[in-house]
Amino acid sequence: MADRSVGTVRELRRYPVKSMAAESLQSVAVSWHGLAGDRRWAFVRPDMERSGFPWLTIREKPDLWLHEPRFLDPADVEASKTVVKTPAGVELEVADPELARSLGDGVRVIKQYGGVFDTFPLSLLTVQSVEGLSALAGEALTPLRFRPNLVIDAAGAEPFPEDHWVGAVLRIGSLRFRVDVRDQRCVMVNVDPAGAAPNPAVLRSIARERDARFGVYGTIVQPGEVSVGDPVVIES
């Protein structure tokens, strides 16, 4: 069977700080640890260090969506300082104790060069799946709400095409990426990125119609560069 084109890259996003706002990119290097700079920082809840999930996230503090991180030197994100613009418009270095204090008593920040990931280093979602879920949830949703790294405009109009890519290797730019599992979702998807009130119908729709899974996760087979507009090819 020959290689098959299944779509193009519509959006690229990384999240310098876990559970904070995204950076929109036109092109990015992808290593064994995912997009360069993705989820390099995370905030830890007090007295949760020994738990399986110590991170402060949108579940506990929805306005994390309104904190905007960026690298001061986007050409060298591993060496760059990272700053965060707060909802009040104040810009602080991510390691500034004032930022941690503003997020809650006892909160502290850590940096992990391999990225602070819940499961896999790369996530993918199609435009068609977001449109399909919007119809189910009764709300016009955006891909950003689901925090993907790669947003793909799939060939054809059928929703949820990425479900059929599990187990396949995708070639995107010079990156080769294996689709491993469907992404099991939690209450974070109820929170709108613009700060609107949570909509529980979003997760209910995914649970009822999609077995609580939406989008896919995967691992890197060959690091490479990905750009908006690159074709997405399933390798034979």
% of the chain with per-residue pLDDT over 70: 99
Mean residue pLDDT of the chain comes to 94
pLDDT band at 4 (very low <50, low <70, confident <90, very high): very high
Q: Are 218 and 166 in contact (CB under 8 A)?
A: no
Q: Which residue has the higher pLDDT, 13 or 79?
A: 13
Structure tokens at 214: 């939406």
For residue 185, pLDDT over 80 is answered with: yes
* pTM as predicted: 0.94
Q: At 145, phi and psi to the nearest 5?
A: -55, -30
HEC secondary structure over 67-90: CEEEECCCCCCCCCCEEEECCCCC
For residue 1, pLDDT over 70 is answered with: no
For residue 91, pLDDT over 70 is answered with: yes
Averaged pLDDT for residues 15-34: 96
Looking at residue 28, its pLDDT comes to 96
Q: Count of CB atoms within 10 A of residue 169's CB?
A: 17
Kindly list the structural domains of the chain, giving each domain's residue range(s) and its CATH number in brackets, ordered by start: 4-234 (2.40.33.20)
For residue 195, pLDDT over 90 is answered with: no
Q: Which of 71, 120, 115, 65 is nearest to 94 (CA)?
A: 71
pLDDT band at 196 (very low <50, low <70, confident <90, very high): low
Question: What's the first-to-final CA gap in the chain, in angstroms?
Answer: 6
**SS3 state of residue 100:** helix
Q: Between β-strands 231-234 and 34-35, what pairing exists: parallel, antiparallel or unpaired?
A: unpaired
Averaged pLDDT for residues 67-94: 94
Looking at residue 112, its pLDDT comes to 86
Q: Are 43 and 55 in contact (CB under 8 A)?
A: yes
What's the pLDDT tens digit per position in 94-148? 999 999 999 999 999 999 887 888 789 999 999 999 999 999 998 899 999 999 9
